[in-house]
Amino acid sequence: MEEKQNFQTSLDFNQNIFKPSTREEIVEIVKNCYKKSIPLEISGLQSKNKIGRNFQAEKTLDLSNYKGIIDYKPEELYIKVKAGTPISEIEEALKKNNQQLAFEPNDFGYLFSGESNSGSIGGVVACNFAGSRRFKVGSVRDHLLGFQGVNGKGETIKSGGTVVKNVTGYDLCKILSGSFGTLTVLTEISIKVLPRPETNKTLIIKNPHVKKALDYLGQSLSSSTDPSGGVFYPDYFGKNFILNDLTHDGGLTGIRIEGPMNSVDQRIDRLSKELALIGNEFSVLDSVQTEIFWNKTKNLEVFKNSKSNLIRIVVPISETLEVIKKLKKDDLNYFIDWGGSLIWMAFDHLNSKILSEIKEITKNHQGYYTLIKIEDDFKASADIFTIDPIKYKISEKIKKSFDPKRIFNPGKMYTGI
């Protein structure tokens, strides 16, 4: 629908924080800021606002009041919501229909504020951080069916729709996923939803060694038992898990199997045989404990009270061991998710020398890093994201095509973008 060009709202442009509750207000705010070249910080539920570079914005566009489910069609496997809708509200609605957001969005609340805050759907799309099921079902971007948003000129734009198969025009859903609010203010989001599996179980293998763990994970992911999660917690973190059926403390590899009841049992049994595990080497978590275990993983709860810096490193599984070996110093704690491809690593001390080392190592091993949590003193000068000069140049052009005056989150990802 075209926005009305001359509508009246009661917006006071002298305020520094706008909390619009209609799209018309959002359009008016953006148009005004575009006209006057006023930089805007786009914010949702403050769960991931600390991720990204420091930047100066005169005004804040707070979307927490722009919320609500617009349309939910379980049989069509989609939900359409306003961008400020809390993930918790969406998950609750889906649960009633035995459905879920299969990409398991991380809850960064524990990390930043010590308590749950899974944020808003707009923020989850803007950051594109997917949980443990990533290697099986894809990332957030793979579940975004369509959106409506307001570009940097205040124009309402849309792409995609609510159907899964749609190749009409450029796939702008992808370019907006993970753009950290630097291209467009998302207003409406249509997300693919999927059935919750009938049940799930987790095979927990007792082992403190990362090399062995990566072997287990690699083998599992290449087997026809079709796992939906694969993690490794070293000794330090492994002992934090206290669950009834967990028969040991210390380092552990966890592999999740989901599906119909008898199929899950069959696959767990087969997987333990394929991995040549003997009786006292493993335990199996039932569905209730499985939920707890993977929620803790999704929520990064092992870092809950940590004061350390946290870096998210993604590499091909073949490189994980080398990267850990090169980065691992005595004061480091880490765990591995995504079946071996994602390393969450905590650093007590971080400086530009260490960071450029990390950059070099991840790059040489065909991966990348994102600084998730970082001490304030260092944040101002640190590279939060990695990028090469060619991609920077292309990114600059794309930024300009959506937001020609650089008013949305300027500098949040890279200087000049």
Reading the block at residue 301, the tokens are 């709860």
One-letter amino acid identity for 400? K
Would you count residue 364 as binding other proteins (CB under 8 A)? no
Question: For 3, which DSSP code?
Answer: P
Residue 354, phi then psi, degrees to nearest 5: -60, -40
Binding residue (CB under 8 A) for other proteins from 89, 226, 348, 375: 226
Toward other proteins, which CB reaches closer, 265 or 281?
265
Site for other proteins in 227-256 (CB under 8 A): none
Of the candidates 63, 60, 43, 61, the one whose C-alpha atom is nearest the C-alpha of residue 52 is 43
| Shortest distance in whole angstroms from residue 335 CB to other proteins | 17
| Shortest distance in whole angstroms from residue 315 CB to other proteins | 5
Binding residue (CB under 8 A) for other proteins from 142, 286, 301, 348: 142
What H or E segment, with its residue span, contains residue 40? strand 40-43
| Shortest distance in whole angstroms from residue 307 CB to other proteins | 26
Would you count residue 2 as binding other proteins (CB under 8 A)? yes
Q: Which stretch binds other proteins (CB under 8 A): 104-112, 204-212, 280-288, 400-408?
A: 400-408
Toward other proteins, which CB reaches closer, 245 or 265?
265
| Shortest distance in whole angstroms from residue 402 CB to other proteins | 7
Toward other proteins, which CB reaches closer, 112 or 135?
135
Distance CA 182, CA 156 (A): 16
Spatial neighbors of 247 by CB under 8 A, at least 6 apart, are 206, 280, 283
- β-pairing, 69-73 vs 59-62, is unpaired
Would you count residue 135 as binding other proteins (CB under 8 A)? yes
For residues 148 to 187, the per-residue mask of contacts with other proteins, x marking binding by CB under 8 A and - elsewhere, is ---x---xxxxx-xxxxxxxxxxxxxxx-xxx---x----
Binding residue (CB under 8 A) for other proteins from 26, 185, 213, 315: 315
Toward other proteins, which CB reaches closer, 310 or 413?
413
HSE value, Cβ hemisphere, 13 Å, CA-based, for 136: 23
Q: How far is CA 179 from CA 68, 89, 128, 175, 381, in A?
A: 23, 24, 8, 7, 21
One-letter amino acid identity for 8? Q
Reading the block at residue 324, the tokens are 């850990």
Site for other proteins in 7-66 (CB under 8 A): none
Binding residue (CB under 8 A) for other proteins from 7, 316, 356, 415: 316
Would you count residue 74 as binding other proteins (CB under 8 A)? yes
| Shortest distance in whole angstroms from residue 161 CB to other proteins | 5
Question: For 339, which DSSP code?
Answer: G
Would you count residue 370 as binding other proteins (CB under 8 A)? yes
For residues 377 to 396, the per-residue mask of contacts with other proteins, x marking binding by CB under 8 A and - elsewhere, is --------xxx--xx--xx-
Would you count residue 199 as binding other proteins (CB under 8 A)? no
Question: Is 182 within 8 Å of 128 (Cβ atoms)?
Answer: no
Toward other proteins, which CB reaches closer, 142 or 286?
142
Distance CA 398, CA 168 (A): 20
Q: What string of DSSP letters covers 9-32?
A: ----TT-SEE---SHHHHHHHHHH
Would you count residue 413 as binding other proteins (CB under 8 A)? yes
Question: Is 61 within 8 Å of 185 (Cβ atoms)?
Answer: yes
Residue 225: other Cβ atoms inside 10 A: 23
Strand order in the sheet with 156-160: 69-73, 78-82, 184-192, 144-151, 156-160
Q: What angle do CA 256, 315, 377 make, to 5 degrees?
A: 105
Toward other proteins, which CB reaches closer, 15 or 356?
356
Would you count residue 415 as binding other proteins (CB under 8 A)? no
Site for other proteins in 90-129 (CB under 8 A): 97-98, 128
| Shortest distance in whole angstroms from residue 23 CB to other proteins | 14
Count of residues interacting with other proteins (CB under 8 A): 87
Toward other proteins, which CB reaches closer, 17 or 164?
164
One-letter amino acid identity for 383? D
Would you count residue 303 as binding other proteins (CB under 8 A)? no
